[in-house]
Amino acid sequence: MDQIDDKTVLLTGAKQADEMQVIWSKADVVRAISGKTKIVPPEKAYSLKVIEGADRGKVFPLERKERFCIGRSGGDLVIKDPKISKVHCVIEFYDGIVVIKDMNSTNGTLLNQMVLAEDFIKDGDRLQVGNTTLVFQGNK
């Protein structure tokens, strides 16, 4: 993570090496969700598929909640990985926007191989928590 003018700059990784990387500040995320109401996503609208780690191959639907907690224990999605914090990160759903937030985890949260504090997440993005990599699958 870089610091520019006392702002944390969050990087959303490019899909290919020649693409420009989009840079969002935490303020950009806050501005985008300001005034929007958290929503409960429709059934089967979003899921996380484990592509690396102990739970490889499993698909976890993200439904019936406006805030979905990922962690080692006590979360909505419990992942068997000792490098994941008890409460590692959360995914929040707003009208038309999905946001992921690191919950001050010990080992951090990566989105498309970039460290994040808070950022937008979209279909196909790769999320790494501990030694586990998941793909966010959005409504297509």
Residues of the chain scoring pLDDT < 50: 1-22
d(CA 7, CA 24) in angstroms, rounded, equals 10
For the record, the structure tokens of 25 come out as 């500040």
Amino acid residing at 91? I
pLDDT of residue 91: 94
pLDDT of residue 64: 73
For tokens 């008890």, name the residue: 86
State the pTM of this model.
0.74
Q: CB atoms < 10 A from the CB of 109, how many?
A: 25
Cβ atoms of residues 133 and 51 within 8 Å: yes
For tokens 């089967």, name the residue: 44
